[in-house]
Amino acid sequence: MLQIKNLSVNVGDKEVLHDINLTIGGGETHVLMGPNGSGKTTLLMTIMGFSSYVITKGQILFKGEDVTAMHAHERAQRGVGMMFQRPPTISGLKLGKMLTAISKTKEENIPELAKIVHMDRFLERDINKGFSGGEIKRSEVLQLMIQNPDFVMLDEPESGVDLENISLIGRNIGGLLEKDKHIVDRKKSGLVITHTGYILDYIDADKGHVMCDGEVKCHGNPREILKEIQQRGYKECLECRSQ
């Protein structure tokens, strides 16, 4: 599904990602962990195609196609989708109007989908204006449900969310990643940033990676990596893996 080869990325004058290599197969969900400021969000924003993240070296292949030079909308139209950690507030633009714009000619029943994530009362509200942490995440999930991407990136889906909302969001993210289907029938893939690991209860992740100082330094079973980080912290985890 996604192949990243020797990717280096600048933000402003500074190189933030260095020589990243990552492959995520069809039907696989990978988890990305790492300390604050390590470059996790930068990687997701680069894959999505945001213009402030300048690729200086390497390639991004999506479904075998080189999307390195493509704009965000071209990547989205090919099936890349992202749940933002801190999406912007757009004054005046109603959530319902945005969903209609996203759905284009698709025939989704927006009010019915909104009810599933308890956002039906928010369709006439300005996007993200005055939304709580949980409401922002539910709005993001709703947008992805309508967009229906083949590759879903989730930037800390559980941050700022209470336990009840984590369950609701987690179940629906599981739906986006086809976790309700048998493993051999799953086609959708994901890359999820998490600090707490709560989301792992819902997404049945296949592989974990740890990012530090703009590099992916270790790989393995996501729950084992998380356990190690929780017990020993990132420093020891990375020292252990780099040996």
Partner 1 sequence: MQEPVKTPGLSSTDKERLSQAGIDLEMKNRCGSYLQMDQDMVHAACDESGIEVLPYKKAIEKYSWLQDYAWKAVSPDKDDITKYVAAQEDPRGYVIIAHKGSKNVLPIQTCLFLGRDKIQHAHNIIIAEEGAELHIISGCASGSHVGKGGAHYGISEFYIKKDAKISFTMIHYWGEDIEVQPRSASIVEENGVFLSNYVCMQPVKKIQMYPTATLTGANSLARFSSIVISLPGSHMDLGSRAILEAPGASAELITRAITKGGTIISRGHIRGNVAGTRGHLECKGLILKDGIIYAIPEIEGSVVGTELSHEAAVGKLAKDEIEYLMARGLDEDEATATIIRGFLDVKISGLPEALQRQIDASIDVAEKSGF
| Binding residues for partner 1 (CB under 8 A) | 48-52, 71-73, 76-77, 81-82, 84, 87-88, 90-94, 97-98, 101-102, 104, 126, 143, 147
- Cβ-based nearer residue to partner 1, 77 or 196: 77
CA nearest to 198, candidates 226, 231, 179, 228: 226
- Cβ-based nearer residue to partner 1, 27 or 149: 149
Question: At 221, is the secondary structure helix, strand, or coil?
Answer: coil
Q: How far apart are the C-alpha atoms of 81 and 36, rounded to whole Å? A: 23
- Cβ-based nearer residue to partner 1, 101 or 183: 101
Shortest distance (Å) from residue 128 CB to partner 1: 9
Shortest distance (Å) from residue 153 CB to partner 1: 10
- What's 188's DSSP letter? -
Shortest distance (Å) from residue 14 CB to partner 1: 19
CA nearest to 168, candidates 212, 133, 208, 137: 137
- Cβ-based nearer residue to partner 1, 91 or 243: 91
Shortest distance (Å) from residue 81 CB to partner 1: 8
The runs of H, that is alpha helices, within 16-151 are 40-48, 72-78, 95-103, 110-116, 133-147
Shortest distance (Å) from residue 114 CB to partner 1: 15
Buried b (16+ CB within 10 A) or exposed e, 101-124: ebbeeeeeebeebbebbebbebbe
Phi, psi dihedrals of residue 210, rounded to the nearest 5°: -115, 130
- Cβ-based nearer residue to partner 1, 149 or 197: 149
